[in-house]
Structures are given as structure tokens and as C-alpha cells.
């Protein structure tokens, strides 16, 4: 129970369905703030109190489990290391993989529970080959992308009561009808451990600021920066470019080079990516039987899926989209779908631009 409306309603539905439910709030920081900044951040003391009030109303036991050390090691340290390596990580993906459906589920099973129930918007379908993960009924709230890291074993012990709800408005209305005080609580956005939203400043405090050059695709210096870690592929704002492009058009980050502490910028069309390859591959069920197959690929939590061909090998997965992706950064997660079903995911390791440098 995060302290939000979704997990509170999920718990209520689990109780109503006749399950023996225990509410658990995860303490992910030992120095968390006491209040949110609007809709920014989560896992605060305020959230813990909101979760407790919901559990009390539902008449279920409530506990706070301290996972702050694992969160620090598996999510925050990974986030910093990825940026230092010039990659763009997804901390929500790592949290689901390492904390909510690994550390939490492991402890729950050890204590004799059957499953972890959350307020995620996704559907679980019992197929011929086992449980399948599918998109939620509400496309606007679908969270199957960030759940793409789950394995078949984890899905077998997971419960998503909100997956077939047509809209978030109905969830809020149900919460109000049940008397839950979080009915109109804002959704959390941004990175929970950076509640002020200043990722660049937060990273600078972790890895330090180091002045470097901003280059165009010819290698000419067009500006300077205070640390390559603060940039990601596709970024347009905050580039501090002193020399405008010859055509007057805006420039975007095309590449981050942490070893030389340089950032390469160029026109928007240079972001087009015709092929991506990845590592850290996981499947939500059995791996695909064919080495090459058609699918749809989603590279961001809220981006549209793109039709593609995927090739599996011992070294990882390669994806060739029918239409080039619009800017993909190493470190991003690519989730593979067959219709509404999630097949699996991988971490993008290499990208191939659709337009050669200088063209």
C-alpha cells in the first residue's frame, strides 16, 4: 500500500473478494520528507500515514517494511551508475524488478502469503502455457510497460485488481464511495527519490560537476556543459549552445560520451533509429520458439508501440522497427508485445541511426 488511491482500492477489492489481506507499506528511505511537493515524489511519511488510515478503514493489519538498503543498492546506485556510463535508466523499472516483485515477493512467500497485490493497471490472463501479462483495459493508465521485467514465476504470485477498470475516474469514485480519504490524492510523478524534479542537480551532488564540451556532428565545439551525466539522448532544453545551427533549427542531444565528458548535438532527424540491440533480457513466459518473430516494441512508458521484427541470440535481442524509432538512448528499456500481451523486455545497449552522421 503506497498511500495512494490505486493501492487502497486494490486492497479494498482484495478484501471484498474474500482474500486474507495484510497491508504493507515500503519504507524506501530512512530520511524521507514528511510532505509531498504536490504530485511529486512518493513513499513519504505522509504516504505511510495515508496507507495506514486506508488499512484501518478496511479492517486489515498494516505493517511498514524497511527496504531502504536494498532500494539504495539496487535502484539508486544503479541509477547513478547508469548515468555515469552515459546511459538513461528507468528507476521505476528497476524498482519493480528488484524491490516490489523480488524483495517484497520473496519475503511475502517466506511468511506464507500466496501473492503480492498492487494497484498497477495491467491484466493477468491464464493462458494455455501459464499466466500472461496484458495491457490494462484503460489504455491511458496502462502500466504493463513498467511491469515488463516480471518473470513467469513472479506473475504466478501477483494480483492486479484494477487491471480491468475502464478508467481512473471510476477508481477515484469508488474510493470516495468507500470512504477512503485518498480518493482525490494526486498521482505521484517524476522520480520518487528526487521529489523536487531536479534530476540534473541531484546527479551533480552525487557525481560532481565537471565542465566539458558540447560538439556538433562534425566535432566542432558549439558550447559547454557542467557534466555529461546531466544529458540524455533526445534532450532539447538546457543545452547552453553558444553557436546556433546554420539552418537556425533547434538541436537535440544525439550522443553522450562519458569517457571524454562530451555531448554531441544535431538536428531532430538525426535522432531516427533504425535498429536497437539489448542485454539483460527477461521473458514473462517461455522464450519465443522462433529466433526471429514479428511484434510491437515500446521504448518508453508513454510512447506508442512500433511494429518491428525481433531477433533472439545468445548475446541478447535485436529489434528492427518498420518505422524508425524517434531517439533511443542506451539504458532505456524496450518492452516487446504480441497484441496486448507482454512477451518480455531488454535494456537497450546499442543503437543504429537511420541517418548517417553528416548526411
Residue whose C-alpha is closest to residue 11's, from 166, 174, 241: 174
User: Any idea of the CA torsion for 339, 343, 347, 348, to the nearest 10 degrees?
Assistant: -40
Report the distance separating Cα 230 and Cα 208, nearest Å.
11
Residue 91 is placed in which grid cell? 528507476
Provide the phi-psi class of 77: left if phi over 0, else alpha when psi is between -120 and 50, else beta: alpha
Q: Is 119 in contact with 175 (CB distance < 8 Å)?
A: no
Helix (H) or strand (E) holding 7: helix 5-16
Which of the following is catalytic: 42, 43, 92, 95? 95
- What is the rounded CA–CA span in Å between residue 83 and residue 211? 16
User: Phi and psi for 137 in degrees, rounded to 5?
Assistant: -65, -35
Whole-number Cα distances in Å, 5 to 28, 105, 130, 313: 19, 21, 30, 42
Work out the angle between the directed axes of helices 168-178 and 5-16 (0-180°, nearest 10): 70
Among residues 314, 326, 58, which one has the least CA distance to residue 174? 58
Burial of residue 177 (CB within 10 Å: 0-12, 13-18, 19+) is exposed
Q: Pairing mode, if any, of strands 306-313 and 252-257?
A: unpaired
Which residue in the list 42, 92, 117, 192 is annotated as catalytic? 192
Length in residues, the chain: 359
Is 95 noted as a catalytic residue in this protein?
Answer: yes
Beta-carbon contacts of 5 under 8 Å, excluding residues fewer than 6 positions away, are: 119, 171, 172, 175, 180, 182, 183, 184, 185
92 is a catalytic site residue: no
Cell matching residue 270:
538525426
Cell numbers representing residue 95 in the block = 524498482
Cell readout for 201 is 542537480
Round to whole Å and give the CA distance between 240 and 250: 12
Q: Which residues are catalytic?
A: 95, 192
Amino acid at each position: 500500500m503506497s498511500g495512494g488511491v490505486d493501492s487502497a482500492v486494490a486492497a479494498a477489492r482484495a478484501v471484498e473478494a474474500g482474500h486474507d489481506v495484510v497491508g504493507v507499506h515500503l519504507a524506501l528511505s530512512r530520511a524521507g520528507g514528511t510532505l509531498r511537493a504536490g504530485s511529486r515524489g512518493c513513499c513519504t511519511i505522509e504516504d505511510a500515514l495515508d496507507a495506514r488510515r486506508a488499512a484501518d478503514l478496511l479492517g486489515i493489519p498494516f505493517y511498514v517494511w524497511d527496504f531502504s538498503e536494498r532500494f539504495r543498492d539496487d535502484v539508486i546506485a544503479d541509477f547513478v551508475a547508469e548515468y555515469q556510463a552515459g546511459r538513461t535508466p528507468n528507476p521505476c523499472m528497476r524498482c519493480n524488478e528488484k524491490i516490489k516483485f523480488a524483495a517484497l515477493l520473496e519475503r511475502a512467500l517466506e511468511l506464507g502469503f500466496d501473492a503480492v497485490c498492487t494497484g498497477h493497471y495491467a491484466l493477468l490472463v491464464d493462458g494455455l502455457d501459464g499466466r500472461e501479462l496484458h495491457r490494462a483495459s484503460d489504455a491511458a493508465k496502462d502500466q504493463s510497460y513498467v511491469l515488463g521485467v516480471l518473470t513467469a514465476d513472479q506473475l504466478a504470485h501477483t494480483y492486479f485488481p484494477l487491471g480491468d477498470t475502464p478508467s481512473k475516474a471510476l477508481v477515484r469514485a469508488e474510493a470516495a464511495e468507500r470512504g477512503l480519504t485518498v480518493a482525490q490524492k494526486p498521482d505521484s510523478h517524476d522520480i520518487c527519490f528526487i521529489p523536487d524534479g531536479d534530476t540534473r542537480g541531484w546527479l551533480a551532488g552525487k557525481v560532481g560537476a565537471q565542465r566539458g564540451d558540447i560538439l556538433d556532428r562534425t566535432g566542432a565545439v558549439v558550447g559547454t556543459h557542467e557534466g555529461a551525466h546531466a544529458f540524455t539522448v533526445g534532450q532539447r532544453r538546457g543545452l547552453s549552445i553558444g553557436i546556433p545551427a546554420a539552418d537556425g533549427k533547434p538541436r537535440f542531444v544525439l550522443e553522450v560520451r562519458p569517457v571524454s565528458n562530451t555531448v554531441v548535438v544535431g538536428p531532430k532527424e538525426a535522432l531516427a533509429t533504425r535498429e536497437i540491440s539489448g542485454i539483460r533480457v527477461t521473458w514473462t513466459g517461455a522464450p519465443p520458439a522462433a529466433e526471429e518473430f514479428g511484434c510491437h516494441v515500446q521504448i518508453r512508458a508513454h510512447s506508442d508501440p512500433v511494429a518491428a521484427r525481433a531477433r533472439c541470440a545468445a548475446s541478447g535481442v535485436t529489434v528492427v522497427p518498420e518505422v524508425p524509432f524517434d531517439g533511443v538512448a542506451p539504458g532505456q528499456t524496450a518492452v516487446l508485445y504480441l497484441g496486448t500481451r507482454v512477451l518480455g523486455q531488454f535494456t537497450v545497449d546499442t543503437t543504429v541511426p537511420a541517418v548517417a552522421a553528416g548526411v
